[in-house]
Amino acid sequence: MPNMDPKKCPMPAQDPNVRNKNFDEVALGYTAEMAVNEAKRCLQCKKPLCRSGCPVEIDIPGFIAKVAEGDFEAAYQVIARSSALPAVCGRVCPQENQCEGKCVRGIKGEPVGIGRLERFVADWHRENVHTAAVKPASNGHKVAVIGAGPSGLTVAGDLAKMGYQVTVYEALHVAGGVLMYGIPEFRLPKDIVQHEVEGLRELGVDIECNMVIGKVLTIDELMNDYGFEAVYIASGAGLPRFMGIPGESLKGVYSANEYLTRVNLMKAYRPDSRTPIKKSRAVAVVGGGNVAMDAARCAKRLGAEQVYIVYRRGMAELPARREEVEHAEEEGIIFRTLTNPVEVLGDENGCVRGMTCVEMELGEPDESGRRRPIVKQGSEFELDVDTMIMALGTSPNPLIRSTTPGLDTDRHGCIITNGPDGLTSRPFVYAGGDAVTGAATVILAMGAGKEAARAIDEAIRAKNA
């Protein structure tokens, strides 16, 4: 019997005034009963629009039908045919703009909780099924992947399933990329990421950490000396952007990249951590995306009394996921929208003591389609903070492009590709994810990895035909 409740089954979560003092996961996950009940809200449309909204092409009605039957392992196997990281996607994908955004149940109510069901299925499998994945037979061909983030892990998993010998070279000491250093533990527990990584190792993927390609080895050396027939560049976008305003070099000014890496990867929030991080009284996070929300919520958990999101447009224009904004508000984050910093103020010791801001108003739309923020004359004021975190986006590190002759990039340093297949200006060199698009979402990076895996397989087959 279909469940015609117009609302999703609510997601159990920690109380806001408890969770803003710890790094445990905020959302607690569905029970089996909740999952089955939510799955029965799916109408099993003959032409499922939800599937067309998924960058990795999961058979969404197929896995939900299995959940509704209570066959959770069969549901997992449906998802696993398309996604190498289901427990990750179920937690951090912007489903509201993708699969759930196309769900017909959303026309007269709330869409089916597709992301919540994907998370449930992946968690159920991890907790209840302990048999190792079967390593496919080798096809005799080798592919190198640069970067063990979501795009690199996806292309590696898909190629491994086709029988390729895949080696992933990761610059950091642990695989996972932005999933490890960028997204806080309270949104994405790191043991879950590593469980997904171990699943790829079981498929035969070799992951070599502490390998900075462009420094230790070049792409030409990988192809000419190590016998790799193709290379996929998934090195991400880890170079932070700043505003270029006075005072940005003061002590207490962080990029969100540095701040989140210290917290997430190096566990600076633990009493025994050897990685220092400032114990702040009042923090301003400049930006309005998911990274800004993550930095602000981390600062609150680290003990700051006031944490501000400073954003030059209004609440309606915030690019962060609605759920992340709501969680931040519940946890006591203060939103100073229509506000822009113009100077960071320092004390006699070279430390941040505040920042000068101006009020903004929205004018006509700019080239992005959003209304352009305009400074209100005479609106300057000082915001009392001792820490400033810049969450203004990132661009790719120049190391790969500077050590790979003939690799075309754009003015932002992003690698130029042929189209969705990811082929670059170099034969048999492919790229995808943030290295191509600049900072974007996990699921779009994964989608690029899937497209590239197909293209690499076709190119190698054609070469050897």
Residue ranges of the chain with per-residue pLDDT less than 50: none
What pLDDT is recorded for position 72? 98
Task: Put residue 105 in one of left, alpha, beta given phi > 0 → left and psi -120 to 50 → alpha.
Answer: alpha
What pLDDT is recorded for position 367? 81
CB 97 within 8 A of CB 68: no
Q: Are strands 306-311 and 339-346 parallel, antiparallel or unpaired?
A: unpaired
In this structure, the chain runs to a length of 465
What pLDDT is recorded for position 133? 84
CB 148 within 8 A of CB 176: yes
| pLDDT tens digits, 166-219 | 999 999 999 999 999 999 999 999 999 999 999 999 999 999 999 999 999 999
The letter for the amino acid at 212 is: V
Q: Is the pTM of this model over 0.85?
A: yes
Q: What are phi and psi of 141, to 5 degrees?
A: -115, 150
| pLDDT tens digits, 83-135 | 999 999 999 999 999 999 999 999 999 999 999 999 999 999 999 999 888 89
Query: According to DSSP H, which parts of 20-81 are helical?
Result: 32-39, 49-52, 60-69, 72-80
* Helix, strand and coil percent figures for the chain, each rounded to 5: 35, 20, 45
Q: Does an H or E element contain 431, and which?
A: strand 429-431
Distance (Å, rounded) from C-alpha 435 to C-alpha 424?
12
Q: Please give the structure tokens belonging to residue 25.
A: 């996961």
Please, what's the largest Cα pairwise distance for the chain?
A: 71
Q: Please give the structure tokens belonging to residue 240.
A: 């932070």
What pLDDT is recorded for position 132? 84
What pLDDT is recorded for position 291? 97
Query: According to DSSP H, which parts of 138-239 are helical?
Result: 150-161, 178-181, 190-202, 219-224
Q: Please give the structure tokens belonging to residue 47.
A: 């032409």
Judged by DSSP in three states, 337 sits in strand
